Amino acid sequence: MDLWLEIVVAIVLVVLAGCLVPLLLQLRRTAAAVQQLAEGAKADLHQVTTDVHHLRERADGLVDLAEEGLMVPVAIGRVVTRVTRTVEDFLGRSTLPWMSALMAGLKFVKAFVQRPHGGDAAKEAPHE
């Protein structure tokens, strides 16, 4: 009986080794492929981060240009708003009847100038 047990154990070990060796070889090839993929992804990631950095620098430059270009119009808008409010306050305190009509006309002109320009946005083509 001992001989048959030894033969069965030997056969099981041979079959197990016959299955494990190809499995281990396949795991070795898979590990090598994963390592190559990781090295390629590392190079790609470096390129992506470099591109994002350059895009951020260009966006910062564009924001700086926009700020410089809008400083004068914003200042003019503030001055016009202050002057308009001063005139409105002055005309609103007057008791003359023609002043109230003039005040209503100025308010209409102000509302007309400050209206949103939504029609232009619909005509623009998307930049994608």
Tell me the pLDDT tens digit for each residue of 74-85: 888 888 888 877
- Euclidean distance between CA atoms 100 and 114, whole angstroms: 21
Query: Is the whole model's pTM more than 0.95, yes or no?
Result: no
- Euclidean distance between CA atoms 99 and 93, whole angstroms: 9
pLDDT for the residue 82: 85
DSSP classification of residue 125: P
pLDDT for the residue 99: 66
**pLDDT < 50 regions, the chain:** 121, 128
Residues 6+ apart with CB under 8 A from 88: 103, 106, 107
pLDDT for the residue 28: 94
